[in-house]
Amino acid sequence: MSLLLAPWARLSLLVVLLVAAGACVLLYQPQRILSEGWPPGLPVGTAVLLFAAAYGVCTAAFVPRPLLNLAAGAVFGSRFGLVAAVGGTVLGAAISFGLGRIMGQEALRPFLRGRWLQAADGQLSRHGFRSMLAVRLFPGVPFVVANYCAAVSRCGWGPFLLATAVGVVPNTAAYVIAGASASSPGSPAFLFSFGFILVSVVGGAVVGWRKRHRLAPPRTRDRVSELTPQHPPVVSGASHGP
């Protein structure tokens, strides 16, 4: 029993689960089942809850969120599709975060020795809500990767889930609207949502490139300041000898 509770045993089990989940996604394509094989005749509230639950499990199993967001819009329309997609996103983030925190954090934290890894860990640990909100607002980091990175850090549950629920709304809404209006690709709603997606992707890349220096660890910035020549202060009114 103690062997099963060892950090490396739990991490190995997590890797096996993730590999199995990825293989199931490739074989069965659950996003297609959600968009095409959804059972008709269910009450809207029940259908939204079931879809959100399936969305969360699929997200934790590496199904790309854009596909699920498009499916949510196609099945429920813009309003209920957004509720189902955001709810499923938060659930999927919680599943991934919980698995990473329980099964991988203790084994992986000793390996956070690289310069960039330590800097990212410091940002997530000290500024969990702000850092996760930036990651969610500006796409670029894969959703599941961000979840497990946050789980290995010391980011708390509350900031992580709240930042996820708030930060994914704009981008998720754009995909849901695109899925709801996909039958009329020339409509203003589809064009606006597609344009928003394109702008958010480009904007996220630009912001990430310009703010990359913030990931530099304090030790590096201290070295730069040490190498900068320091001039002694000039004291005015000093008396001069004969």
In a domain, 204, yes or no: yes
Number of domain units in the chain: 1
Task: Decide if 137 contacts 174 (C-beta within 8 A).
Answer: no
Q: What is the pLDDT of residues 154-166, one digit of tens each?
A: 888 999 999 999 9
Band of the pLDDT at 55, cuts 50, 70, 90?
A: very high
pLDDT band at 2, cuts 50/70/90?
very low
**Each residue of 169-212: pLDDT tens digit?**
999 999 999 989 887 877 888 888 878 878 877 776 666 666 55
Say what the pLDDT of residue 227 is: 47
pTM greater than the 0.85 cutoff: no
Assigned domain for 239 exists: no
User: Quick check: 73 and 176 in contact, CB under 8 A?
Assistant: yes
Residues 130, 136, 140: CA angle, nearest 5 degrees: 120
How confident is the model over 104-122, as pLDDT tens digits?
A: 666 565 555 555 556 666 6
Residue 40 lies in a domain: yes
| pLDDT band of 89, cuts 50, 70, 90 | very high
Q: Which domain holds residue 205?
A: 8-218
Query: Quick one: pLDDT at residue 242?
Result: 46
Confirm whether 231 is domain-assigned.
no
Residue 235 maps to a domain: no
Residue 87 lies in a domain: yes
In a domain, 233, yes or no: no
pLDDT bracket for residue 87 (50, 70, 90): very high
Distance CA 29, CA 105 (A): 30
Cβ atoms 166, 115 nearer than 8 A: no
Of 25-29, 112-116, 236-240, give the lowest mean pLDDT range. 236-240
Q: Kindly state whether residue 230 falls inside one of the protein's structural domains.
A: no
